[in-house]
A and B are shown apart, each in its own frame.
Chain A
Amino acid sequence: MRLPPQPGEWLDRSAVLPFRFEGRSYSGFAGDSISAALWAAGQHTLGRSFKYHRPRGILTLANHDINVMLQTPQAMNIRGDVEALRAGMELVAVNTAGGVDNDRNRYMGLLARFLPVGFYYKAFHTKALLPLWERLIRNFSGLGKLDLSKPALHTPKRYDFCDVLVIGGGVSGLQAALHAARAGAQVVVVDENARSGGSASFQFGGSVAGLQALRELQSAVAEEPLIRVLTDTTAVGYYADHWIALIDAQCMTKLRAKAVVVASGAFELPAVFSHNDVPGVMTAGAAQRLINRYAVRPMQTAVALVANSEGFTAVLDALQAGVKVAAVADMRSQGPTCAARDAVREAGVRVLDGWGIYEAHSGDSGRRVTGVTLARLLADGQADTSTKEHVVCDGVIMSVGFAPAANLLYQAGTSMGWSDTVQQFVPAKLPAGIFACGRVNGVYDSEAKALDGQRAGMLAAAHCGFGSQHDVPHVPEALRCPSHPWPIVAHPQGKNFVDFDEDLQLKDFYNAAQEGYDNIELMKRYTTNGMGPSQGKHSNMTALRILARIIGKTPIEVGTTTARPFYHPVSISHLAGRGFTPERHTPMRALHTQAGAVWMAAGMWQRPEYYAVAGRSRMQCIREEAMNVRQRVGIIDVGTLGKLEVIGPQAAEFLERIYISRYANLAVGMTRYAVMCDESGVVIDDGVVARLAEQHFYFTTTTSGAATVYRELSRLNTLWRMDCGIVNHTGAFAGVNVAGPQARQLLASLTSADLDGAAFPYLGVREIDVAGIPARAMRVGFVGEWGYEVHVPAEYGAALWQALMQAGTGLGIRPFGVEAQRLLRLEKGHIIIGQDTDGLTVPREAALGWATKLEKPFFIGQRSLQAIAKRPQKQTLVGFTLDIPGMATSQDSHPDMPSESHLVIVNGEISGRITSVAFSPALGHVIGMAFVTPALSAVGTGLPIRLTSGNMVQAQVVALPFYDAAGARQKEVSA
């Protein structure tokens, strides 16, 4: 029920927010969390547990458990305990059948005795039935439901920088920030809550003194210009070099700090007793947050189970909120006195020393606690059932201990040690630049916390070069132990939960150990403790204590499981960001689109696959583009090729070392095909080398190889330190290839250069003007017609294209794309690296033996090729033809047409594979290239090819090239 305004409450009562839960109407205030508003309205069954579908309510209210997991039409897996209430929310609990109050799956609880730890490994695996069981299990599991029709949500990312990042805005964190800033450091404080203050914002003990002190501290921080406080912001992961991922509702911020102070506090641990999961049983922190942040009375009548002074402080808060406290069971038989405990006694509350809760009761529905059975505790922690006493209550407040929220410390590489004094892990060895303070550091007393924060802040600032480490305050030793070493009471009926996410009870751990899963990692994986959405925040320490007792080891000997990002789950939308997929375009892009280009990706580049023509199919367009090259003149944009230069006295020698052929003897003004291998002798790239001058070469690479080749050549020259320099002009030059019987006439109309065969021979390179644009022109033979490859500075690319298209109108010019070029080069038997070669192809296998000059002094791959030459050749690339009736007129695919990668099958064995295949309009039949075993490589050999359907077709090996063997179309034929 809602209380009158509380000092320090987080509500804005002027903003009333109506919402719906499970189809019913409720309202809350701005500042409420969803669970708080529901609790205030009397709705206490807020969820159903994962396995047994037991009713659940508020447990930690700190996002250390997922009892309250909700869904709206807009969002999945909402954590009701910490999610801010908004007007109009339509909420349902996840994973119920028929609603949270009457979940039909609650009968699973009745089956609990059949479903012990690891039960799903023991059954369901009869081969015949597993698919059925699996379907059932899959339908049963899972929490929220993903809306498959939702479009992608893109949230932009931010970057941030600071000297000192303080994680956690409680008292010790704020003190750390203040002192770091006063030393001169730029500080960012992040806190996952809506406001800073940490436990000081709700552990009031019935008085406002602490709140006043907190407000003063918060003001001091607000006035400090070097401090930024980011609330509703969670540090979810620590990464190398102090790179921290910060998550808020809008986006992810990636922050680089020079030092990090972890002041993240501690997890309050639920006590373990039978039916400790019934709604109404909650941690002290949950009760105090309800009272002091949200002005909600958590229960009418409470029993408190405590083992520290924090518990008594919570009782005082409860009393102040009008809760009747029927009894306080202090699990310590001789707990030290403290002011809060004295005040509780003075208020007339019955305190039982050395007592615990044996079991909680909940009536038939199980939906709300109705009372507890207390019992004296024996030395080993078991209940002395002869002393059982029933106490009526509708709420239990537990304050039995803590575990440090040390996830980010672990992620940063901190080694933790065990402190017997405070019965928790504390940092033992912190990495450089990482500091810890407050409860995560084992410091619980308020004054000590403030000093600890000051200490950490000053050290962090000093680490960044601000202030000094010398006046760092001394933090007094802990005076008391805030954590009970065994807050666990066994019960024959069980239902004493350790991991509430996974419905794991005390006996599950004993059973797992009995089965041999008795180290901390195996125990986790077998029981799934800590593998649910809370990732062990409320359960790992308890599980560790249980295992330690079972195997007779200390907590430090047992060890912890690995803490990994993320501290709280992070939305994929935040991780994905807006997404950025760059594309590279040539300068002629718009012109291609205007001409009807259908685009395809070539690595990061976009290239025209072909140019669409109304009324013609894709295949027809490609064939017609190709035929136009053979009959008239075609033009293709080759600007995506890698374009490099090497210049200097040792330029020729450099090329000799990186390519398999000779270049020292390449005449100035001539070009030569170039093949590159890696150190193991495998072909990795090809191109054309042009010699512009004695010490100046211009050479190309494949489109996809450009960047890696350039980078590797740079590395080689760094290593070899040859007297030459390498330049990458790939993006700086545009390039076109004009080819066909009319190509020379076309070019002649745009240049004054002498294009006669004597002046500009086949394979020559000339620097000429084309349409007034300074260009490098090379006579090339890739597509098998008279052709020129023209490279110009990129800013002239579009002008060059337009000039050629214009000049070529009367000559029948037509642009052609990648597919037509593939077809044309295939007719000439030219290989494409990566298509007609694979990750193991060496030159001799790809008919490049002629280009391999093993007699050179050195080239990359040479020594390996020498070793390989001694071994039998494994495969050979051959040309083949195939006659398929009807292919000439077929529009697109023909059922008997083989595809690339179809296999050659001889005597039932795989004996080869097609690498390229197409119907050649110039030749009138199907042509292709295939790798075959050397035994099948002789011209005239039959190649049986298996199609996808399983049918066989018969091809014949022929000599390459298929078209114009003498090369008369592309060069001068000597008389």
Chain B
Amino acid sequence: MKIMTCPINGPRLISEFAYWGECKTMPEPADCTDAQWADYVFNKSGAPGVKHEWWCHTPSNTWFIAVRDTMSDVIEKTFLYGQQ
């Protein structure tokens, strides 16, 4: 099974992790139009590439960021949020 490296617990089987999705920056709700807000809520980057993603190591409830190539599935690095 594929291995993901939790920044706290080290390399673990990927079945121990939950995938949330690509990191996205929330626009200021007061400053954006309804259409812009809907774009933030529903739309995705979609195409393959190297993405920053939220992942959680569920047994330890450790949330972190993984930088992963969504075509080759190569995980370039993982780090705690804010600790690039």
Contact = CB atoms under 8 A, between A and B. Distances in A.
Contact present between A and B (CB < 8 A)? yes
Interface of A: 239-241, 243, 254, 679-680, 710-711, 714-715, 718-719, 721, 728, 858, 862-864, 866-867, 870
Given A858-B29, A863-B29, A715 B63 contact: yes
Contacts, number: 45
B2 to A, nearest CB: 4
Q: What are the nearest 7 A-B pairs in CB distance? A: A240-B2, A863-B29, A867-B34, A718-B63, A241-B3, A715-B63, A679-B41
A241 B82 CA distance: 28
Contact of A715 (B32, B38, B56, B82): B56
B37 interface: yes
Interface in B1-55: 1-3, 18, 20, 29, 32, 34, 37-38, 41-42, 54
B2 A680 contact: no
A870 B34 contact: yes
Nearest to A867: B34
13 contacts: A239-B2, A240-B2, A241-B3, A679-B41, A710-B61, A718-B63, A721-B82, A728-B61, A863-B32, A864-B37, A864-B38, A864-B41, A867-B34
A239 B1 contact: yes
Interface of B: 1-3, 18, 20, 29, 32, 34, 37-38, 41-42, 54, 56, 58, 61, 63, 73, 81-82
Contacts of A858: 29
A711 B18 contact: yes
A130 to B, nearest CB: 41
B20 A715 contact: yes
A714 B37 contact: no
Contacts of B20: 715
A680 B63 contact: no
Given A243-B2, A714-B63, 13 more contacts: A239-B2, A240-B73, A241-B3, A679-B41, A711-B56, A715-B20, A715-B56, A719-B81, A721-B82, A864-B37, A864-B41, A866-B34, A867-B37
Given A680-B41, A680-B42, A718 B81 contact: yes
B73 A711 contact: no
A715 B58 CA distance: 11
B34 A241 contact: no
Contact of B1 (A240, A721, A862, A863): A240
Contacts of B81: 718-719
Contact of A867 (B18, B38, B54, B63): B38
Pick the most buried of A241, A243, A863: most chain B CB atoms within 10 A of its CB.
A863
Nearest to A681: B41
A446 to B, nearest CB: 38
A870 B34 CA distance: 10
A842 B3 CA distance: 39
A243 B2 CA distance: 8
Contacts of A718: 63, 81
Contacts of A728: 61
Contacts of A862: 29
Nearest to A715: B63
A705 B42 CA distance: 22
A720 to B, nearest CB: 10
A679 B42 CA distance: 9
Nearest to A862: B29
A490 B42 CA distance: 60
